[in-house]
Amino acid sequence: PQDSEKAKTFVHAFLKRSMPKMKDEAIQDMLTRKAVVLEHYHKKQTKQKRKKTKGFTAKQRRELRLFEIEPEQQRYAIFLPLHELWKQYIRDLCHGLKPDTQPHLIQGKLLKADLHGAIVTVTKSKCPSYVGITGIILQEFKHIFKIITKEDKLKVVPKLNNVFSLELDGFVSYIYGSKFLLRASERSAKKFKLKGTIDL
């Protein structure tokens, strides 16, 4: 009995502290009904908006000349190590280019592969002056390849109306530029139809 009295006193004091605006009669009424609802207000937490880092616009990139290769760096020998890295990358991607490997499997992987560092040759073109250009791909854009030749000349070759060939470990693959009008990042997610085509 003594403990129950202490409990009542404690509860009454607790309710008095928790709800100071309430009268004693109201508190007593709540106790007799043996149902106590304590009000608790959650503080609304304001979510901090994450600021997205804005990159350069296309105009700013052109003004800063971010993608331009300096004339003194336009030398074929500088980029030969890049070509060696690309060859190793393709070998790893295709699990080794063996003679018994099915060509369409390698072709499918090459279509989605990164071509920076590959040696390509323009084999067919609607513009005869492009035919025979051979070099290492330094940059790939949506509509063009930038190729450095053995003569240390930087050539800008459009993909449209051109057929390119690349050779690695005896495997020759042909790229129809007209079907290849994509950025390198977009190409990796695209599904290509491995069907022959007769147009450039």
Q: Please indicate, yes or no, if residue 30 is contained in any of the structural domains.
A: yes
Q: Please indicate, yes or no, if residue 196 is contained in any of the structural domains.
A: no
Please give the chain's pLDDT, 200 residues, in tens: 567 778 778 877 887 787 777 777 777 776 666 555 556 666 667 777 777 667 788 788 778 877 788 888 889 999 999 999 999 998 888 877 766 667 777 777 888 888 999 999 999 999 999 999 999 999 998 899 999 999 999 999 999 999 999 888 878 888 888 888 888 777 777 776 655 555 55
Question: Do 99 and 184 reside in the same domain of the chain?
Answer: yes
Number of domains in the chain: 2
Question: Do 111 and 28 reside in the same domain of the chain?
Answer: no
Question: Do 35 and 94 reside in the same domain of the chain?
Answer: no
First CA to last CA distance, the chain: 100
In order of 33, 96, 149, the CA distances from 85 in angstroms are 81, 14, 18
Q: Please indicate, yes or no, if residue 112 is contained in any of the structural domains.
A: yes
Question: Do 18 and 79 reside in the same domain of the chain?
Answer: no
CA–CA dist 49, 169 (Å, integer): 53
Q: Which domain holds residue 5?
A: 1-40
Q: Please indicate, yes or no, if residue 58 is contained in any of the structural domains.
A: no
Q: Please indicate, yes or no, if residue 133 is contained in any of the structural domains.
A: yes
Question: Do 102 and 15 reside in the same domain of the chain?
Answer: no
Q: Please indicate, yes or no, if residue 200 is contained in any of the structural domains.
A: no
Does the pTM exceed 0.85?
no
